[in-house]
Amino acid sequence: MWPILFFFLSVLFLSRIVGLTTTKKGKGNAGEMVVSYFLNKLDKSKYFVINDIILKLNDRTTQIDHIVVSCYGIFVIETKNWTGSIYGGSKKEFIYQYLGGVKYTHQNPFKQNIGHINFLKDVLSSYPNLKYISIVAFGGYSKRKIKDDISIKISEILDTIKQYTEEVISEIDRDLVHTKLKRLKVEGDGFKKEHVENMKRRYG
């Protein structure tokens, strides 16, 4: 019974992923779903996972794909499910994607994630000694040629997180930070739409 159920759920999950990859937005969602799937395998007594979180601080907002709160640090994960060839520099303003002979310009995910961390530092200013780890995970069939590239493949996400073994945050602070982030998480599709429009106006 259980093997059959597990097989059915696996097929359903893969079908959902394949279905999403037919559009640009769907590809991004599919990448985030795969990362969420891997993060769900982490020991839930040690790692607290928050997926697709929007935070608001005064008149500022930010959307973060994944946050993992642990005693080993706060992992802030940006997911890019891109195909084609990716060029640029991790410290530049933009990253360039070449696909089918067409050049696309994207906001630099490395700088974007640093912005997320700086926002979190403001949100969690009452915990000034937290350690933040930036992770940019690429999915799809991308060929990356990025100067100072510090990204990983989505499939490497668990190994990357587990290589941090030194406890730098107390269990009490870990639990308090997790609770605070969940409490501050903004819900609602209307707000998400407003946030996306703000990002478009800011970055074009």
Place of tokens 């891109």: 82
pLDDT of residue 1: 53
- The pLDDT tens digits along the chain (204 residues) read 544 444 444 434 444 434 444 444 444 466 788 999 999 999 999 999 999 999 988 888 999 999 999 999 999 999 998 888 998 888 889 999 998 889 999 999 999 999 999 999 999 999 999 999 999 999 867 788 888 888 899 999 999 999 999 999 999 999 999 999 999 888 644 444 444 444 444 433
Name the domain count of the chain. Answer: 1
pLDDT of residue 94: 93
Would you tell me the crossing angle of helices 171-184 and 109-123 to the nearest 10 degrees?
100
Q: Sign of dihedral through CA atoms 191, 96, 135, 157? A: positive
Q: What domain range is 29 assigned to?
A: 2-203
Sheet containing strand 94-99, edge to edge, reads 102-107, 94-99, 84-89, 142-147
pLDDT of residue 90: 87
pLDDT of residue 143: 83
pLDDT of residue 21: 42
Do 45 and 173 form a contact (C-beta atoms < 8 A)? no
Contacts of 127 (CB under 8 A, 6+ apart): 173, 176, 177
pLDDT of residue 35: 92
Question: Side chain identity at 196, as an amino acid letter?
Answer: V
pLDDT of residue 187: 62
pTM score above 0.85: no
pLDDT of residue 167: 97
Pairing of strands 60-70, 47-57: antiparallel
pLDDT of residue 117: 97
**Tokens representing residue 128 in the block:** 């000034």
Rg (CA), the chain: 18
